[in-house]
Amino acid sequence: MTPSTDELPAGEIRVLLVEDDPPTLWRLQDALTKAGFDVVAAATLAEARASLARRIPLVLLTDLQLPDGHGVELIRETRQRFPDTEIMVISILGDEESVISAITVGATGYLLKDAFPTDIASTVRDLVAGHSPISASIARFIVRRTQKSAEPPPGPPLNTTRLTPREIDILWGIAKGFSYAEIAGHLGLSRQTVPGHIKSIYRKLEVHTRGEAVFEALQQGLIKL
Amino acid sequence: MTEATAKPASTGAQGLRSRKQASWLLQYVLLQVLIVMLCVLALRHPLSEPPQPTRVSAFSLNDRGAARSVTLPDFVVSRFSMNDPAVYRGSFDWTKDDAARAWSVYLPRFTNGVEVIVNGVAILDSRRDPSANRPDRATPEIAVIPASLLRDGANDLAIKLYVWGPVSGFLDRVSVGPDAVLRPYYEQRTLLFVTLPMVFSAWQGILAVILIVLWAVRRHETAYGALAAAMALGAIQAFLPTAVDQTAHPELSATVIASSAPLESGFVLAFAILFFGRRWPRYGPLMFVPGVLLVLIGIFGNPEALRQSFVYFGIPGLGVNLVLLALVVAWSEVRRQDVPSLLLGCAVTIVLTCWVHDMLSLLQVIPDHRLFFTRLSYSAMLAAIGAGLTWRFARALNQVDGFAAHLVIQLREAEEKLKASFAREEERARVAALARERTRLMRDLHDGLGGQLVSIVALSERGEGGASVGDAARAALKDLRLVIDSMDDIGGDLMLALGSWRDRATAQLRPHEIALDWRVTSPQGLPVHPELRPWHVIQIVRILDEAVTNAVKHAAARRITVSIETLTDASGASSGCITVADDGKGFALAPDGAAATERQTARGLRNMRSRAARCGAGLELISGPGGTSVRLILPRRFPDGDAAAG
């Protein structure tokens, strides 16, 4: 049930694509199919759940705004039921609001809707290989949350208390536009370990259970008893 | 308090007020009458006297050549001579059985001086006792008779009475007997008429010091100055030497003593007028006339004239001042009904009663033992003044406390008002900032996204599908991301904005197979500019976008290098510099600096220059066969307003 992803050929990688806008869906499906992925498409939350019940995908690609619900629900369910499935959110702008809220429920990457076909395929392949993509603006959003400020900053709530100083340094480097190699050089790391750190950052930002979510919201002062 | 409530009141309220005052005045007067009655009772209460057997009453008086037999107490006509005293001759019996006990002669009261001679030997001369020389103090005298002088049986007793007017001479009943019997009576009188006045004078001295300090610190409080003068004068005169023939400046002492009572009463009256808030009357200085007159007579006249003047000016002056003082205090009591005026009023009544008693005694109207109580009763006034001042002081402290509490309340109110106005101001500033941001956003969307969407529409209408529509749409999306990105707070660190730009530029260049080299010369990249605003960021990013687009579209470049460095000039000030260089074919520059090759490139360059100018940045363009280099030199400080944007 848990195949070693690194050796899998593209054809063995099953992707569940959830997108309600037909042209966008065609475009993404085309790009992934041409790259050799096994793509199953769904236009609604219900269809996606039905598909998940039939067969477990290795990768879930989902839009957030769906006709019958929010993509965040699907991500949370999938993350809880199938921990081995890699989840990516499809975003128009790659903005913090959508990407961060997806990360906190278990997504480990994001895909821009207008990305070039080659980029779409390589991003999914990288994700399967354990390399989570992160943009400078997402990194910037996360590191600014690690800085102590008097009032909570705008945007979705985010608990950064579990990030290590090294991980925060890596995020600073990404936010300032440095490449992985440059960051590794500045911090005295091996270039290959940087993507692993980024995946670890995503995992740490995830809120695992309902109880933990309440606990963390309390810690951050979002809820007052 | 009544003043405060009366001001806005109608005539009805005024009538009520005057009725209230009248009833208060009645109560006050009744209280004073009660005090007078108590005083009279106390004054009429006889002092205890030695037992009858010790008294020597039968004397033969030899006065100015005439001899007669008299019974004590006896008065002698006033005179000014010390050379011919009236001589009282009498006798007392002593037996040898009494030799074991000391015998004394006790004189309870006399004016002005006595010399006691037993069996021809003088045993006492009161003129050497400074206290006894004050007719206003009823100083008693006692003298132990040396045992060797006493004879078994009848002994001669002669008393020379010296008189130095204006008071007539007086000799009270004399007692001769065992010292143990007589001394307690002597001690009792000494306590009452010598020790107590001394204690009160000492107290007056302390009061004078306190008041002088008070007045020195608060010069505008002339009332305390006047009272300090009164107290100082009273204290000084009490300790002046009066022993006959032993004083260094007898005239000066006499002057001070004679003028002290009228002057002191004048100062106290002045104090009362000022203290109780009355306007200083035009004839006010008249109250000092008797005292000043006595001082002048003392300096320029002789002792006899001074003594005579004291009777004519000093004593009536004192009385007039006391009556005026009683009126002033009564007026104040009716107006204010406070503790100091009530206390002082009662004290004045006591002193006035004693003064009347002393007058009657002096004029020999009432049968009496010639005891003067005015000085003694003055201590009641001192007590009232002390208590009144303390009361005033305590009330002032309370007022200060109340004022402080009031101030705290006012401060809190002001603080709340300030907070409210601050919140209003903050809200206004927030609304203004929001409006500014909206304007900026609209302009940014209009500049980029709007134009690109319009060109998409135009391309679609012309039927030119495919790549150009896609490029225009992609550019529109890219611009949208830029606008959204620029709204994020980057804390003045331009590197954070450049990081996002690098992501977008890399994605843009990848399909064209152009490599993006990113060179940051120092780990922190560019200097931090706290004044950096989103619109600065948008202008800078659009300049960089334009440079990259030119390289892609017109230069056929294979590699674009972005260098980020911090330049430090001679003065140590640093400024950032961003260079976008390509390895394309370049273009020729016209002499005016604008590109001559293509119209579009020319427009692009013009845009870059104007954007750089709006941010206060410098733009250098170098183009040649080896490629094009756009060098953007950031200002040391970004300008506040977007003046050039119009």
pLDDT of residue B4: 43
Look up the CATH number of the domain holding residue A206: 1.10.10.10
CATH number at residue A31: 3.40.50.2300
Residues A110/A114/A118/A123 CA torsion (nearest 10 deg) = 0
Burial class (CB in 10 A: 0-12, 13-18, 19+), B563: middle
B495/A136 Cβ within 8 A:
no
pLDDT averaged over every residue in chain B: 83
pLDDT in the model for residue B595 = 45
If we measure between CA atoms, which residue out of A178, A58, A22 comes closest to residue B495? A178
Q: Which residues of B49-59 are buried (b: 16+ CB within 10 A; e: fewer)?
A: ebeeebbbeeb
Confidence category of residue B110, pLDDT binned at 50, 70, 90: confident
Q: What is the nearest CA distance from B467 to chain A, expressed in angstroms?
A: 13
**What integer is the mean pLDDT of B631-644?**
78
Same domain, A123 and A141: no
Mean pLDDT of A118-136: 84
For the stretch B492-519, pLDDT in tens is 888 888 888 888 888 888 888 888 888 8
Mean pLDDT of B397-424: 93
- Quickly tell me which residue has 């002290």 as its tokens: B260
Tell whether A182 is within 8 A of chain B (Cβ): yes
On whether any CB of chain B is under 8 Å from the CB of A155, the answer is no
Q: Which chain A residues touch B495 with a CB distance below 8 Å?
A: 175-177
Instruction: Looking at the complex, report in whole angstroms how far the Cα of residue A146 sits from the nearest Cα belonging to chain B.
Output: 14
What is the residue range of A213's domain? 136-219
Q: What angle is formed at CA A78 by the lines to CA A72 and CA A81, rounded to 5 degrees?
A: 140
A211: distance to nearest CA of chain B, Å? 31
Domains of chain B, with CATH numbers? 52-189 (2.60.120.260), 492-645 (3.30.565.10)
> A122 and A102, same structural domain?
yes
Q: Which residues of A touch B473 (CB under 8 A)?
A: 114
Beta carbons within 8 Å of B245's beta carbon, 6+ residues apart = B127
Average pLDDT score, chain A: 80
Instruction: Note whether A140 contacts B: Cβ–Cβ < 8 A.
Output: yes
User: Do A31 and A64 reside in the same domain of the chain?
Assistant: yes
Q: Which residue of A has its CA nearest to B516?
A: A179
Domain boundary among A110, A128, A146: A128
Q: Which amino acid does the sequence have at B570?
A: A
Which of A92, A137, A177 has the CB atom closest to B485's CB atom?
A137
- Whether B500 and A119 lie within 8 Å, measured CB to CB: no
CA dihedral A219, A220, A223, A224 (to 10 degrees): 70
Which of A186-190, A208-212, B245-249: highest mean pLDDT?
A186-190
- Interface membership of A135 toward B (CB under 8 Å): yes
Residue B9 predicted with pLDDT over 50: no
Distinct helix (H) and strand (E) counts, chain B: 16, 18
A59-63 and A86-91 strand pairing: parallel
CA distances A134 to A16, A90, B206, B278, Å, are: 21, 13, 90, 90
Taking CB atoms and an 8 Å cutoff, what residues of chain B touch A176? 493, 495-496, 498-499, 520, 525
DSSP reduced 3-state for A15: strand
B2, pLDDT greater than 50: no
Q: Please name the residue of chain B whose CA is at the shortest distance from the CA of residue A140.
A: B496
Q: Mark yes or no for CB contact A136/B520 under 8 Å.
A: no
Chain A nearest-CA residue for B497: A176
Is the same domain home to A121 and A140? no
pLDDT-derived band at B638, boundaries 50, 70, 90: confident
CB atoms within 10 A of CB B633: 15
Provide the pLDDT for residue B591: 46
Instruction: Write the CB contacts of A184 (distance below 8 Å, at least 6 apart in sequence).
Output: A190, A191, A193, A194
Check the CA dihedral B182-B184-B187-B192 and report its sign: negative
A137 and B491: CB-CB below 8 Å? no
Helix (H) or strand (E) holding B143: strand B141-145
d(CA B611, CA B605): 10
Residue A225 lies in a domain: no
What number of C-beta contacts closer than 8 Å exist between A and B? 69
Cβ-based interface (< 8 Å): residues of B facing A: 473-474, 477, 480-481, 484-485, 488-491, 493, 495-496, 498-503, 507, 510-511, 518, 520, 523, 525
Instruction: Find the mean pLDDT for residues A29-55.
Output: 91
Going from the C-alpha of A21 to that of each of A29, A74, B117, B201, the distances in angstroms are 12, 17, 144, 111
Cα separation, B563 vs B422, in Å, equals 46
- Is A108 found in the same domain as A211? no
If asked whether residues A162 and A60 sit together in one domain, one would say no
User: Could you tell me if A40 and A108 lie in one domain?
Assistant: yes
Same domain, A11 and A97: yes
pLDDT of residue A220: 53
Contact by Cβ (8 Å): B157, B116: yes
Local structure of residue A110 (DSSP, 8 states): E
Sign of CA dihedral B201, B203, B209, B214: negative
* Residue in chain A lying closest to B478 (CA): A93
Structure tokens at A96: 């913090």
B371 pLDDT more than 60: yes
> Has residue B594 got a pLDDT over 60?
no
pLDDT over 70 (residue B10): no
Residues of A with Cβ-Cβ distance to B525 under 8 angstroms: 176
**What percentage of chain B has pLDDT greater than the value 90?**
15
- Structural tokens at position B553: 């579209």
| Chain A residues within 8 A of B501 when measuring between CB atoms | 177
Looking at A128, A152, A187, the residue that finishes a domain is: A128
pLDDT score of B7 = 44
- Pairing state of beta strands A65-66 and B103-107? unpaired
Calpha distance B406→B410 (Å, rounded): 6
With a threshold of 0.90, tell me whether the complex ipTM lies above it: no
* pLDDT, tens digit (0-9, with 9 covering 90-100), for B548-557: 888 888 777 8
Structure confidence by residue, pLDDT tens digits, B17-59: 788 888 888 888 999 999 999 998 988 888 888 888 888 888 8
A60 belongs to a structural domain:
yes
Cβ separation of A182 and B484 shorter than 8 Å?
Answer: no
DSSP string for B275-334: HTTPPPPTTGGGGGHHHHHHHHHHHHS-HHHHHHHIIIIIHHHHHHHHHHHHHHHHHHHH
* b/e A191-205 (16+ beta carbons within 10 angstroms → b): eeebbebbbbbbeeb
Q: Is residue A196 part of a domain?
A: yes
Q: Is residue A161 part of a domain?
A: yes
One domain, residues A72 and A183: no
Q: Is the pLDDT of residue A138 over 60?
A: yes
Are A75 and A184 in a shared domain?
A: no
Q: How many domains does chain A have?
A: 2
Is the residue at A123 inside a domain? Answer: yes
Q: Where would I find the H helices in B487-575?
A: 494-509, 534-553
Q: How far is A51 from chain B (nearest CA, A)?
A: 32
Domain final residue pick, A102, A128, A154: A128
Separation CA B341–CA B331 (nearest Å): 9
* pLDDT score recorded for residue B129: 80
pLDDT band at residue B410 under the 50/70/90 scheme: very high
Contacts of B503 in chain A (CB under 8 A): 135-137, 177
Counts for chain A of helices (H) and strands (E), in that order? 10, 7
Contacts of A179 in chain B (CB under 8 A): 518
DSSP assignments along B188-248, one per residue? HHHIIIIIHHHHHHHHHHHHHHHHHHHHHH-TT-HHHHHHHHHHHHHHHHHTS---TTT-S
Contacts of B491 in chain A (CB under 8 A): 144
Handedness of CA A21, A22, A26, A29 (dihedral sign): positive
Residue A100 sits in the same domain as residue A206: no
Does residue A224 lie within any of the structural domains?
no
Q: Tell me the angle at which helices B250-275 and B289-300 cross, rounded to the nearest 10 degrees.
A: 170
Q: What is the pLDDT of residue A156?
A: 65
| A101 and A170 part of one domain | no
A70 in contact with chain B, both atoms CB, cutoff 8 A: no
CA distance B269 to A188: 97
Tokens 């003067």 label which residue? B372
* Mutation target among B488, B514, B518 for the A interface, most CBs of A within 10 A: B488
